Amino acid sequence: MGGGGPRGGPPAGAPPPELLEDRGVLVPPAAPEALADGIARLLDDRALAASMGAAARAWAWKNLDMEAVTEEHLGMYQRLLAARRGR
């Protein structure tokens, strides 16, 4: 996703946050025709593909930044330790 290309894939339950409509094409599982239609849609509409790619890149830079991910994990470990100490 950080490479700037739109993504496609099957949703499993709720769509993952990194695959929302403005950043990729969601298709039902085990639906190769729907996947082909989604790919064709992106190939036919290069502006849409570029827009989704840019949105995906922006999301990745914001949410997958090493410092942000490290801070998120550190916070999780701190909460786990605090909960364990509170037993």
Predicted confidence (pLDDT) at residue 1 exceeds the cutoff of 60:
no
Q: How confident is the model at residue 4 (pLDDT cuts 50, 70, 90)?
A: low
Q: Average pLDDT of the chain?
A: 82
Region 20-46: mean pLDDT is 89
pTM exceeds cut of 0.75: no
Half-sphere exposure in the Cβ direction for 53 (13 Å, CA): 11
Please give the Cα distance from 9 to 84 (Å, whole number). Answer: 39
In sequence order, the 6+-apart residues with CB closer than 8 A to the CB of 49 are 5, 6, 42, 43
Residue 24's H or E segment, with its range, is strand 24-26
